[in-house]
Structure 1
Amino acid sequence: MSDAVLMQLLRILADGNYHSGEELGERLSMSRTAVWKQLKKLPELGVELQSGRGQGYCLPGGLELFQRERLLKEAEPWQGDLQLELVLDSTNAQLMTRSANVKSGTVCIAEQQTAGRGRRGRAWVSPFGQNIYLSMLWQFEGGASSLEGLSLAVGVCVAEVLEGLGLNGVTLKWPNDVLVDQRKLAGVLLEMTGDPAGVCQVVVGVGVNWRMPIGAAQNIDQPWVDVSHLAEEQGVSGVSRNAVAGRLIAALSSMLTEFSSVGFSGFRQRWLSRAAFVGRSVAVSTAKETSSGVLLGVDEAGALLLDVAGGVQRYYGGEVSLRSAE
């Protein structure tokens, strides 16, 4: 059976209610045996399937699956190409491998990633149908030098979308983490292809914890929070997965258009107003050394400014790690 049939089955079960094998067979126009074969695939995706004698099958708590029409409506006025996938290795990898044949502004979203990545090669935990795995390809004319501070501008974009949905306390940790109360909520991964000195394509990957299953979270090695629990903590209702993803698409398209014209300078103050650890003692580690000092902020190019014994050191990203020293 195709992914389309499996997706149809998931959409029926997504309401969290019980559905009998007979009902599923009628709605999918297949035998109960064929339905059972499809149901057996759900645990392989990491989707919890519950069955009850005389009741049928259900997905406890339900799922909010991505809906193309809803995403397109939430993403207005963006009008690019949308690749909506069930399962793939990585949304970034999907666009990177096709970058030469993909239009600027194209978006790839998946229900699940099998090889999602964060910075420094770390795995990005990507359970099925729970979080947001989104990438947008954008073409730049000025090569790598025109991308200075881009990851920080993306962080601003993500923060503003979440704030627009009613969430409070969103902060940005240099260079690409989105936090609330020092718990990671979202992350950014940029990858470039093309001419480093001329026309190039950048894939902007954004991962947002929307509703992280506790079982999947066992593989996360730092404090984290998700949108659903954060909304509950703050008394915010109606923050849907489709709304977050759709509004991210619109905001990223707008941000990248602006960034192509003004660079990071147009986003620096917006980043600083949400910056985590500014004025506090931090430790910055590179492949060669670790330095401790007071975080001053970032310069016009997005470089981190660290006050070390009265002198200012600059860090430009790459294999750099920042943590609080307090």
Structure 2
Amino acid sequence: MDKTQEQYNQLLSLLADGRFHSGEALGQRLGCSRASLWKLIRRLRDEGLPVEAVSGRGYRLTVAVEPLRESPIRAHLESFCDEWSLRVLDRVDSTNRLLLNEAGTLCHPAVVLAERQLAGRGRWGRRWEMSFGGGVALSLMWPFHRQGAQLAGLSLAVGVTLAESLEKIGVRGLGLKWPNDLVTVDGKLAGILVELIAQAAGAAKAVVGVGLNVRLSEQARAKIEQPVVDLQQLVGDTALQRNTIAALMIDAIANACREFEAGGFSAFRERWNRLDVLNGQPVSLRLPTEIQEGIARGVDDNGAFLLEGEDGKHSYFTGETELKVRR
């Protein structure tokens, strides 16, 4: 890491408390000139961080941010084992891509979190970004004994356990939108992306990526092309310790993987149905080459989406759902 990047990271840590820090004090702590400090401040603003400057008082982030740290995350984990690896990075192109590249050398579960993902990916290759402090973005690699074809429905299982874990900390009104979104009536709270690596022996490794909105700035919201919500809207500030939330997410994903390994998706189907926001609704299902319309009828024991059209009920393992407006 070069010196400028170290200074940038240190400045973020200093301003994360939301208090004013004088330019002179910051320059002394960072070992940089006034001009260099201003360049670092401008970089923070360019990345969407709300840095306020007040003459005679200095600089501050208008919203305090708890940086992600490995030690407090580990301290809050319930299901973590010593042989697992856990890393917190300042920035990375994509936590999923990083673990996909490393999966061949990993024998035990591995977790990577990043304050910023510069080229994160959603389903169908969509670009996805998260600004510093706006949420929690992480990926977990899990080695299964099942073959890849037997892991259909894993993203739905992760959605179930994550929703149930968030309900335990007071989040109300959560639902699941097939195949990979946690939503409320006001918008999307979290998304899930599962990618598989086939192994020569037949078993597969899965990389499960989750991004969850914690406290989105207005600038961050303006870049998102769909309605969104964050935890601050749903529970206020009382439950917004990001390291605690990160541990909750890791435990939820790990528990989903363990339970899925033992019983497949059928063990999750009824729990999914309780949270399904589409069941019984008129929907459009966008497929790679066409759009199907009909009434959503839940999911089957493998996690396939059930769509009832004029010619009967059909199941789909891929696609993107959208509620149709009733006329």
Question: One fold, TM greater than 0.5?
Answer: yes
Distance 2:242 2:184 in 1: 18
User: Does the aligned pair in 1 maintain the 2:176–2:183 contact within 8 Å?
Assistant: yes
Is 2:293 aligned against 1:289?
A: no
SS for the counterpart of 1:291 is strand
* Matching residue of 2:132: 128
State the percentage of identical aligned residues. Answer: 37
- In the other structure, the counterpart of 1:7 is 9
Q: CA deviation at 1:17?
A: 0.9
1:102 is aligned to 106
Q: Cα–Cα, structure 1 residues 322 and 18, in superposed 2: closer, same or farther, change >3 Å?
A: same
Q: 2:22 aligns with which of 20, 23, 36?
A: 20
Q: Tell me how far apart the structure 2 counterparts of residues 197 and 221 of structure 1 sit (CA, whole Å).
A: 42
Gaps of 5+ in 1: none
> What are structure 2's unaligned runs of at least 5 residues?
none
Normalised by the length of structure 1, the TM-score is 0.91
CA distance in 1, matches of 2:304, 2:143: 23
Please say if residues 159 and 178 of structure 1, whose CA atoms lie closer than 8 Å, have aligned partners that are also in contact.
yes
Trace 1:238-249 onto structure 2 (pairs within 5 A).
Answer: 238-249=239-250
Is 1:173–2:172 an aligned residue pair? Answer: no
Partner of 1:146: 150
Q: What RMSD, in angstroms, separates the aligned Cα atoms of the two structures?
A: 2.0
Alpha-carbon shift at residue 308 of structure 1 (Å): 1.5
- Separation of aligned partners in 1, 2:221 and 2:47: 16
Secondary structure of the equivalent of 1:296? Answer: strand
1:37, distance to aligned residue in structure 2 (A):
5.4
Greater strand share, 1 or 2?
A: 2
Q: TM-score, normalised by structure 2?
A: 0.91
1:238-289: CA deviations, max 9, x gaps? 2322221111111211221121111111111111110012112212221333
Within 5 Å, give how 1:1-326 maps onto structure 2.
1=3, 3-28=5-30, 30-33=31-34, 35-36=37-38, 38-79=40-81, 80-181=84-185, 183-195=187-199, 198-232=202-236, 237-309=238-310, 311-317=312-318, 320-325=319-324, 326=326
Q: Is the 8 A contact 1:125 1:216 kept in 2?
A: no
User: CA, structure 1 residues 258+4, in 2 after alignment: closer, same or farther (shift >3 Å)?
Assistant: farther
CA contact (8 A) 1:78 1:250 kept: yes
Q: SS at 1:116's partner residue? A: strand
Query: In structure 2, the residue corresponding to 1:142 is in which secondary structure?
Result: strand
Match of 2:297, SS?
Answer: strand
- The alpha-carbon deviation at position 215 of structure 1 amounts to 1.5
C-alpha contact 2:214 2:232 (8 A) present in aligned 1:
yes
| 1:37-73 C-alpha deviation (Å, 9 max, x unpaired) | 5445423433232222221211112222112222112
The list of structure 1 runs, each at least 4 consecutive aligned residues, that deviate by more than 6 angstroms after superposition, is none
Q: Is the 8 A contact 1:134 1:205 kept in 2?
A: yes
- Return the alpha-carbon distance in structure 2 between the equivalents of residues 202 and 196 of structure 1: 14
Task: Give yes or no for contact 2:191–2:211 (8 Å, CA) kept in 1.
Answer: yes
Cα distance in 1 between the residues matched to 2:192 and 2:89: 20
The 8 Å contact of residues 191 and 203 in structure 1, kept in 2 or not, is answered as: yes
